[in-house]
Structure 1
Amino acid sequence: MDTPMTASELHAYLRRIDVADLLGACPEPTLGTLETVVAGHIRSIPFETLDPALGRPVADLRTGALVEKLVHRHRGGYCYEQNGLLSGALLALGYDVAALTGRVVWKQPDDAPPTPRTHLALAVAVPTTGERYLVDVGFGAQTLSAPIRIDGEGPQPTRHEPYRLVAMPDGWRRLEAEIRGTWRPLYVLGPDAQARIDLEVGSWYVSTHPESAFVRGLSAGLVADDARWGLRGNLLRVHRRTGDSERVVLGSAAAVIEVLTGRFGIDVTGLGDVEARLTRLLSG
């Protein structure tokens, strides 16, 4: 992974996710701290693919660049940006962090051909116990809402649905979530840690390839304490912890921007004529 955040970057990040006062001046790298940081991150920094959807490749995954975009500019990002930012914070806090990549199988038929290995998640070791946890703050509206044990067997509770890691051949693991009583696969993870150059290749693919879902359409997601919010194109979905769901079709690019800036808290200044570009994207 990349370098740890500096002290000032870490302070700004913890303020951005609204946990600085909760953790205090010198947080210890415990499981509790990890859970607090993950919860704060997913409720504060939205998943979003504005840059690739608007034809702006994401080229810089260095810690400082991610802090500038997601912390200071109040933007969001996709998995390489989200988990890259979190990795820099966790390294600064004293955790051991490894990058794991995998293939997304979410909403794919069983006989679908393999997808590219373009999803990033983190394996995080807690120093006080040595136990490793899967941490992922970058899977859109269905993002894992709490760390789960990598070597755990069976369902594990999170702040929302139960999740489980299913062992596969060659050391791979499949992450599944129990949604409305049915276990749904999200992605399969390889066991080998990846270098930053590998992450840059994956990020370049998803932000530039013409067949990438991030290039072909706009996505956004946020995991609040009481609901999961997801946007794809002009369709907004809300899945509440009570079990209720809602679908809202947004009638214009202006309405989409209002949701992005309001519900998701994304600052779109400096991106040019976003409304005109989204109008073309939504009409395509």
Structure 2
Amino acid sequence: MPQRTWRRPLDEGLRDAYLTRLGFPSPPPPTLDTLRALHRAQIEGVPYEVVWIALREPRTVEPLDSMGYLASGRGGYCYHLNGALAVLLDWLGFDTHLRVGGAQGRNDPVAPGATGSHMVIEVHGLPAPECAGGRWFVDTGLGDGLRDPLPLVPGDHRADPFRFRLRPSDVVPGGWRFDHDPRGAFAGMDFAPSEASIADFTDKHRELSTAPDSGFVRTVTLARREGRVIHELRGLALQTVAPGGEDSSVLTARADYFAALADLFRLPLSDVDESRRGVLWNRLREDHERYLLAQTGSQ
């Protein structure tokens, strides 16, 4: 079995601080019920967000750093959300594995494949009626994706307001393909079957978080699931998707934007002072004005 080089020695203080953020007063046992509860707690309590990129905060993909970001009240994107969760699960006694993935946007010229643009978790050894092999696809870093872990077997799944499909990958031998709902924020994601290392993600993380043409650099994006409802904020455009329909609005007031971050996205930014908030808000307004001008010019 390939060595899991991403594993880290237990840090009880960091573990307990992270568990507290997720609402667990003490370390839970490594059961399927626990896996589901932890997954849902992170999906609903910790935002998928790249505000830190707009604030020009340097970040690594080192899992212990990621645990620190989350334990301190911040969020992150896939490398942080899944990297932190993978180490936590390992510390709790789950048979945890990292996989190299690659996600594609709706209008993305990047071909499907395990490109390193996404980090995936697999958890093994938890058999259930719907998962006789005991292998689970675990992913809290897909934004508007999973609410619960999925059995790693081909099939269709419903997690209101969306439907998903998990199937063998067409382009990654032995790998898997996650097809998102047509209304989702991205088209899908492929991931490889072999054990990943943190080094597999460092170059792509640097590109995604710093390159001027990266969507994460161009647009300040947040997403969070709340039961059957998904909230997404792209720039100043807020969208809520529920089983009964969708609702959209534009947050034109600074107070409304930061209130939405705190209330809808569980991101109060308590460690960001007024000066840095002002820089962020001015950037968002300028981006929105450029967007409006582009829309006017295209008509």
Q: Is the TM-score greater than 0.5? A: yes
TM-score normalised by length of structure 1: 0.85
Cα offset, 1:160, TM superposition? 5.6
- Aligned partners of 1:57 and 1:26: how far apart in 2? 30
- Aligned partners of 1:97 and 1:255: how far apart in 2? 40
Cα offset, 1:122, TM superposition? 0.8
1:13 corresponds to which of 10, 14, 18: 18
TM-score normalised by length of structure 2: 0.81
Aligned to 1:136: 139
Cα offset, 1:105, TM superposition? 1.8
SS in 2 for 1:273: helix
- Matched letter for residue 103 of structure 1: G
Distance 1:246 1:40, change over 3 A: same
1:212 pairs with 2:211: no
Aligned to 1:54: 55
Q: Which moved more, 1:82-91 or 1:257-266?
A: 257-266
TM-superposition CA deviations, 1:148-175 (whole Å, max 9, x none): 122x122134476442212124223220
- Aligned partners of 1:10 and 1:217: how far apart in 2? 32
Displacement over 4 Å in runs of 4+: 127-130, 157-160
SS in 2 for 1:67: helix
1:278 pairs with 2:275: no
Equivalence map 1:168-179=2 (5 Å): 168-169=170-171, 170-178=173-181
- Aligned partners of 2:103 and 2:237: how far apart in 1? 21
Contact 1:4/1:90, CA 8 A, preserved across alignment: no
Equivalence map 1:109-188=2 (5 Å): 112-114=109-111, 116-126=115-125, 131-140=134-143, 142-150=144-152, 152-158=153-159, 161-167=162-168, 168-169=170-171, 170-178=173-181, 185-188=187-190
Contact 2:179/2:187, CA 8 A, preserved across alignment: yes
- Matched letter for residue 19 of structure 2: L
What is the count of residue pairs matched by the alignment?
271
Q: Which moved more, 1:273-282 or 1:74-83?
A: 273-282
Aligned to 1:38: 39
5+ long unaligned stretches in structure 1: none
Give the alignment's Cα RMSD to 1 decimal. Answer: 2.5
Q: Which moved more, 1:113-122 or 1:256-265?
A: 113-122
Aligned to 1:104: 103
Distance 1:113 1:205, change over 3 A: closer
Contact 2:124/2:134, CA 8 A, preserved across alignment: yes
Equivalence map 1:217-256=2 (5 Å): 217-240=219-242, 242-256=243-257
SS in 2 for 1:105: strand
- Matched letter for residue 87 of structure 1: A
Provide the identity percentage.
25
